Amino acid sequence: MAKEKVLVVDDEEDILELVRYNLQRDGYVITCTSSGEKALKMVELEMPDLIVLDLMLPGINGLEMTRKLKAKKRYGHIPIIILSAKGEETDVVTGLEMGADDYVTKPFSPRILAARVKNVLRRHCEKASETDDVISINELTIHPGRREVTADGNPVQMTYTEFQILFYLARRPGWVSTRTQIVDAIRGSDYPITDRSVDVQIVGLRKKLGSLGKYIQTVRGVGYRFKGTS
């Protein structure tokens, strides 16, 4: 049976109880709260393995909580599944771009949510096993465990998605990846992120990398590749 700790944050008591009941049945250790402020304190004290998070919370909302957690090295690795009644494409994309690992809309199936929790935890474990080795290509260094990037010896601040894309491409130097493959690799499948979203992230990456942005090459009609040569 699973023993991972899951923090559930929602201001609706019936939702908290429904999620608690179904995830406890699968063997997870569940902690619940209805406040974003309390949730942040609980993360600090308990370090959950995953967070199921509502967006429309009193005080600090779900998006702000996601942003705060992903901005800190100590908590940035904790996967987050957003559980929200806001189901428009723009809402989903915003949540994922903030760093959430999955997005489930209300009303929801408890069985589907449980499957998403299991899947996100599995992917998280697989990624963790890939984060031991530092990638060094010419003047660029990527430390996946620390989620740190240096270019010409200078630290480069990146969003969650920018780092994931750079890490994915740099681990496969010379290989061409389509936009769909990039989205699937960093988020899993079935996410409403367009090809244009990937293009925007690449533009941001190149700008932040400065002269080293040339290593991310566009392959017209196909996608992108990382080519660490002058």
Give the residues of the chain that fall short of pLDDT 50: 1-2, 189-190, 230
Question: Do 59 and 143 sit in the same domain of this protein?
Answer: no
pLDDT tens-digit readout, 76-85: 889 999 999 9
What is the CATH classification number for the domain harbouring 160? 1.10.10.10
Question: Do 124 and 144 sit in the same domain of this protein?
Answer: no
What is the CATH classification number for the domain harbouring 51? 3.40.50.2300
Q: How many domains does the chain have?
A: 2
Domain containing 64 equals 5-128
Give pLDDT, residue 128: 57
Give pLDDT, residue 149: 93
> At a CB cut-off of 8 Å and minimum separation 6, what does 229 contact?
138, 215
Question: Do 19 and 56 sit in the same domain of this protein?
Answer: yes
Question: Do 77 and 188 sit in the same domain of this protein?
Answer: no
The burial of 198, by beta-carbon neighbours within 10 Å (0-12 exposed, 13-18 middle, 19 or more buried), is given as buried
Distance (Å, rounded) from C-alpha 61 to C-alpha 101? 17
Give pLDDT, residue 138: 86
Question: Do 86 and 147 sit in the same domain of this protein?
Answer: no
Question: Do 139 and 199 sit in the same domain of this protein?
Answer: yes
In the structure encoding, which two tokens stand for residue 77, read together?
């690795």
